[in-house]
Amino acid sequence: MLELYSTPLDILYLVLSIAIAFFALFLVLALYHLIKILSNINNVTAKAKDTMDLVNHYLWQPIKFAMTIIEKSKSAAAKQAKKAKK
């Protein structure tokens, strides 16, 4: 067994193969964590979209409706004021 690793080139090949194996393992783990992070980001953005849809539906739409009513009542009041002046 010792005869197999007697030359420096054999030792270099052994060390390089171990280093490449650890590097490949590191890359696999990093890719796994990256996929998990991107999946979580996808879930967060989906929930944020749902929240914004709810805000738009339950908050912004009634405000727009009330603003439309106020603008129409202002224009109707201005017309009534013009008629009253004549």
For the segment 25-59, what is each residue's pLDDT rounded down to a tens digit? 999 999 999 999 999 999 999 999 999 998 888 88
- Average pLDDT score, the chain: 89
Cα–Cα dist 29/36, whole Å: 11
What phi and psi, each to the nearest 5 degrees, are found at residue 5? -110, 35
- Residue 33 is predicted with a pLDDT of 98
